[in-house]
Structures are given as structure tokens and as C-alpha cells.
Structure 1
Amino acid sequence: MASLFLFTVALSGCSGSPLGYLDATSPIAGAIASLGLGLTAISIAVCIVVGVLLVVALWRGRRAHDLAITPVNDRTAIRWIGFGVAISTVFLVGSAVWTLLTVSSISQPAQASALSIDVIGQEWWWAVKYRSSNPAREFITANQLVIPVGVPVQINLTSKDVIHSFWVPKLGGKMDMIPSRTNVTWLQADKVGDFRGQCSEFCGLQHANMAFNVRVLSKPDFEAWWDRPASATAGSGDDPRLKTFLVRCAACHTIRGTPPEAF
């Protein structure tokens, strides 16, 4: 019982962490946080019921029996066992139903996604491609998603090498990224800000460093960001930042097999 209490306290302290899912800022994360707290409460309740019944059984056993080994037909004890099993079953069935309803509610956004983004996991970084009906507005960034506030965004997930897992705790749940397969999830943020994401499937020696950032902008700021020249956003030869990178950094800080211009 004490360990469960300490676990609950520790869990509540995770809300202030960049990877704490209890401090939800989206419909998906809010539903997941509520489910997590609810399942924790149900688990504690089941443990309390079982503990109380165990204490009662021990107390009655010490009063009713001595050390002599004699056959016992204690129907009252059987009724108590049945009572405990029935209560536990109700709790566990309720947990299963709640979980299924939550999974169903977050599987699709309330409204159609107006924006589609491809996220490709690879050892050990994230390629992010913004899709548009106008090919001139499509571009690729690395290790950062930029989305508008209050808008559901479809995220198409795949991997180039091993299994990765896409996870933004404060905005949504986890989903695996599997080579040669596209899994679809969605994100929606309720407020402007920066939110950390992390690969949550061990993928190699640099797994711990495979993090990314989700930047949520107001709708006007997002449109202004998107309307920048594609060359400047993706990093063209005219971008002074890329020139500086090529001169000072590219000798060491590139991904093998990937030209620096790709960034």
C-alpha cells in the first residue's frame, strides 16, 4: 500500500517534466492523462479491497481455529472470497471498458485534418515533410514540427531503418514507426508553445538523443512561417545560415550519406 502511494506521488510529480503526460495541452493527451489517473485510482481501490479482505480473513482465522488440523467448512469465508472477487471484477471490467472508449475517442479527430505532415524516423534524427497541394510549398525540416494552435494535424509515420516510436507526451500518445509501413496519428495543441517529443522505442546507441521539438504557433504566425520562401526554410544555397554551416561545421557535423544541403 505504501509503495502504491509513493508511486502515485511520483507520478503526479511528472506533470512538470518535459516528458510528463499529466500536464496535458491537447484533447488526446487530456484523455490519456485522465485514463492514467483513473486506472491508478482503480488499481489502488482493488488493492485496498484485497488488503481489507485479507486482514478480515486473518482476524477471523485466529479467532475461529486453533492449531488442531481439522476439516473446515466455512461458507462465510467463501462468501467473503466471492464478494472480493465480484468487486475486483467490476473494477477491472470498468477499467477495460474505459480504456477501449478512450482509445476509440482519440483514434480520429473531431474534425477533418486540414494539414498533413510526414515524419520519417531514422538513426538518429527525424525528417519532417510538410505536404501541400502546391508542390512549391512542400519542404523538409529536421527534428522540429511546426503546427498551428487549435487545428488537428495528421501525422504520417514511417521509418527508414529500424522501429522507432513517435511520442509527444503533452500533445498525444505513442505510435510505432515501422519500416515499409505508414502509421497515421494526429496532434492538436490547445495553446502556443514548444513541446518536446522523444523516440520511445530503443533504436540504437544514440536512442536517448533522438528527441525533437513541436512548435505550436498562432494561425497567422503559422501561415507567415509557411509562406516563407521554400529555399530559405529548407536551407538553400542562398541562405547565410547554410553558408556558415558549410564553412564552419560541415566537416564534422553531417550525417553519413546525407549531403549538408539537405538540412
Structure 2
Amino acid sequence: MTEYTPPPEAVLRSLDVEEHLSDPTLKQAFVTPMFDIIAPRYDQFTRWFSFGMDGGWKREALDAARESARRIRPVREALDLATGTGDLAVALARLWPGMKVDALDASPRMIDEAQRRLAQRDPDVLAAVTPMVGDMMALPQADASVDVITASYAVRNVPDARGAVREMARVLRSGGVLVTLDFYRPDFAPWRALFLGYLQVAGDLVGYLWHRDPVVYGYIARSIAHFMSDRAFSALLHDEGFDVVSVRRYLFGGVARHVARRR
């Protein structure tokens, strides 16, 4: 007899978001079913929620990765963390033809969506990108095996940011490049309140309209409130073996891109 597995919608409704965000041992149990739910409309929501700015942020992140990796000859392997539907992984494969790209995400439905979209790409990209379900806290890649890591909206969603950065440092070769893009807690309190307030209202509204569950997208504001500032993340990178090359802030510190090199 097949064991019943409840759908992610039912799982998410049974969980308390604040309890799971406050406890690192519980966080992933909330995050994975949430991303399973939003996978089919993830790209649509990201564009809408950022007023179309997300595409520009990611293009700049790719430009930063290419520029920072100029001294690496050749770039053989890349890793795209929290790959979602695989847009950055595909862009990396096109940036360095012949390179191998692992596209990792904790959500099985996200990886299903990435594989579906990848099947529509040209054969060279299809051969280069390998979507995989995986845990950023325990990466399957070998020590010092990766030249470039990209991680968009990734570190904020793991149970332990320091542990995830430590794993990235482990798999990167010396001199390897890390490029992250994420939401952060703005330092300026009045702007932080306004920024998180907008994200909370807009996220709850879309979550209810699309899924009849406000927390599906309202989670974003709550997760940022539990996260750190971009300056604190720079310090964390330095502590875990990276030299921060540059930081680009958007929305007055609500979003930031970090470029770092493995010492």
C-alpha cells in the first residue's frame, strides 16, 4: 500500500511561519514546501514583485561574474544555488561555452520546472546544465572543485547562513568567484519599516489571490526581518575565507549583490 504524502499546500498550512523562521532546525521544513507551491509561477511573481527590476539585477550579477572570473583560465565548472527555474544556470552555460553547470535547488518542483524549461533549450545548453535537488548546507560537490558560484535569493532561505557560506568556500577553488544577489534588512529604520511593510502587504495579497494562502509570498518580508544587513553579510563572507570584491546596493540596501573571491 502506497503511503499517503500530503500536498505541499496542506503541509504549509499546518506550519507556523514565525516558529519555523525562528528555529534553524525547523526552517527548511517550511521553505521547501513553500517553493514547491510557487514553482510554476515563480518567474512571473519575481518580475511583478520587483517591478521588472529583477532581470536587470541578474544581468548585472552575470556581468560581475564574468568580469571577476577573467583571471580563471579556463572556467570549467560553475554552481548555481537556489537555481529556481534555472535561468541563471542557463545564462552561465552561455557565458562560458563548454563549461559544466550544476543547478541546485532544495525544491523538487523547482527542479522539475527547471528540467522542463531546459528541455526547450539548444543542445549545447542542455548538455552543459545539470539540475539537481540538493541542500546548500551539505553540497554534493567535491572540495575545491568549482570555479564560479552564483546564488540568487539563496542564503536568506537556508537554516544557517554561515554554514551555507562555509560550504560554498569548501567547494570553491582558491581564487574562485562567488556572486550573490539577495534581499537584506535595510539599516535605516524608517526605510526598513516602509520596505518590509510593502513586501508584507503585497506578498500577502498575491499569496491569497493565487494560492488562497497569504503566507506563500508574505514569507518574503518575514524572512528578511529575520535576516541581516548587506554589511553584516560582507563581514560574514570575510570571516569564512572570502575577499569581498564589490557590493552593489539596490533599493537603499533592501537588495544587494556581493562579488567575492575565495582566499
Give the alignment's TM-score, normalised by structure 2. 0.27
Bigger Rg, which one? 1
Relative to its length, the structure with more helix (as a share) is 2
